[in-house]
Amino acid sequence: MAAALYDPANGYYARPAGQVGRGGDFFTSVSTGPLFGRLLARHIAAWHREAGSPDRWRILECGANDGSLAADILAALGDLRGLEYAIVEPLPLLAAAQRERLPAARIVRSPEELAGDAQPSFVLGNEVIDALPFHVIESDGRGWRLQGVTLSADDRFIWTDLGEAPPELVAGLPPRPAGYRSEVRDNLLPFLTPLAAAMTGGRMLWLDYGFERDDYYHESRTTGTLRTFSRHRAAEDPLESPGEIDITAHVDFTALGEALVQSGGTVLRFENQGRFLTEAAKPWLLELEGRTDEATRKDLRSFQTLTHPGHLGAKFHVMEAEFPANTKRR
């Protein structure tokens, strides 16, 4: 999965953006328009005030893709003194697209580059955790076995049983009947730790689709949550055209919460996107009273899409954690 998505030459995300949106392979909340970024900007500004309006501070976005969310957040925040907008972007072509769109932003290949210049920070990512590589595991009725990919004699990618899954990878997962397949990530803590090290306190906010562990490994979910996306069509075979299609699996938010705590944070909220954005939108909704212009109607349509349980409001969840100024790993 890491090679199929992130190989610098042939990975799906190694192209100069274009994966997200109408002309791409899938929509995200960012594609619904600037309202998503405007509401996140309100939430971030509220945190900045609560944190005592530090003179120097940073928004650090992961998975910024073509820079649309960053542009929307920055436009909504206006002229906030002392703010640096930084983006972690390991892929050169996406980084180039972001530099062109956001000349004032600081684009780094990894959060380690910021460790020497840590700031009070608001770290965020929309649909990033689901794009972190995961392991595919299958139960044999007694335990979990790791599934890998090899080349067949006639040069096709095929699934291969790699033997028993390492105990630490599957610790805490419930026993399941033979043939039950699912996914598990062991890279959450390594992903979060350098981000936490780049902050002198602040928040992390992750928005994504997923469930708590009980639901993720529910006995009825026998084939897991692995999906591929190509031209707005979902499928389930990641070996079909690696490098040309998106590969994703839902987020185990219990595992994400544990990793946030281990990296030094305290989980403040875990709720669906509908609730979260509705709370952030309250003052804006009051300001709209009596307005019927086309721009307002357009924003309200976006708001519906982002928050209605039948659209993105219930499928997406938000997990936010607070990090103290002297973050220590637990």
Ligand X SMILES: C[S@@+](CC[C@H](N)C(=O)[O-])C[C@H]1O[C@@H](n2cnc3c(N)ncnc32)[C@H](O)[C@@H]1O
Chain positions 121 to 180 lying near ligand X, rule: CB under 6 A, are: 126-128, 131-132
Which of 24, 37, 63, 202 is the binder for ligand X (CB under 6 A)? 63
259 binds ligand X (CB under 6 A): no
Residue 148 tokens read as: 């890998």
Quote the least distance from Cβ 110 to ligand X, whole Å: 8
Contact by Cβ (8 Å): 45, 6: no
Helix 68-77 / helix 92-101 crossing angle, nearest 10 deg: 30
CA angle 59, 65, 66 (to 5 degrees): 100
55 CB neighbour count, 10 Å cutoff: 9
Nearer to ligand X, 184 or 207 (CB): 207
277 binds ligand X (CB under 6 A): no
Which of 1, 30, 97, 137 is the binder for ligand X (CB under 6 A)? 30
Pairwise CA distance, residues 180 & 141, whole Å: 8
Number of residues interacting with ligand X: please give it, by CB under 6 A.
17
Residue whose C-alpha is closest to residue 136's, from 119, 124, 149, 125: 149
Using CB under 6 A, which of the segments 60-68, 237-245, 276-284, 287-295 binds ligand X?
Answer: 60-68
Pairwise CA distance, residues 91 & 72, whole Å: 22
Nearer to ligand X, 132 or 251 (CB): 132
Pairwise CA distance, residues 108 & 111, whole Å: 7
Nearer to ligand X, 173 or 260 (CB): 260
Chain positions 175 to 204 lying near ligand X, rule: CB under 6 A, are: 191
Contacting residues toward ligand X, per CB under 6 A: 13, 20, 28, 30, 62-63, 65, 69, 88, 90-91, 126-128, 131-132, 191
